[in-house]
Homo-oligomer: A and B are copies of this chain.
Amino acid sequence: MTETAHHMSADMQQCIQECLTCHSVCLSTVQHCLQMGGQHAEARHITTLLDCAEICQTSANFMLRGSELHTRTCGVCAEVCTRCAEECERMGSHTQMQACAERCRRCADSCRRMSAMAA
């Protein structure tokens, strides 16, 4: 993303990237879970994955627009990602679930750092 580099800190660039990757992985995981069925396809879990995908997108967009209030969307994003990671981890040792949980954890960490810069 060299075109956006000159007016952004390295931390923010990394956070945008984490959000976009987490968004993509969560949306893919929705499909995966619906096809697996059972607990994977429960309303609560699908909803959390959709929540996580959407707030990651919104959070990335706030940073891409250079919005001051990105610290607030990053704060919520960190919370939603953490919940999504916990739910995926609870689903057991399935590869896709572990991969999704890991991306959510990384995104949560990065968003928490951005959010803390507000204080």
The answer to whether A31 and B79 touch across the interface, beta carbons within 8 angstroms, is no
Main secondary structure of the interface of A (DSSP, over half): helix
Residues of B within 8 A of A20 (CB): 20, 24
The answer to whether A27 and B61 touch across the interface, beta carbons within 8 angstroms, is yes
Q: State the Cβ distance, A55 to closest chain B Cβ, in Å.
A: 7
Q: Which residue of B lies closest to A73 (CB)?
A: B76
**CB-CB contacts below 8 Å: A44-86 with B:** 46-48, 50-51, 54-55, 57-58, 60-62, 64-67, 69, 72-73, 75-76, 79-80, 83
Interface residues of A (CB under 8 A from B): 1-4, 7, 16, 20-21, 24-25, 27-31, 34-35, 37, 41-43, 46-48, 50-51, 54-55, 57-58, 60-62, 64-67, 69, 72-73, 75-76, 79-80, 83, 96, 99-100, 103
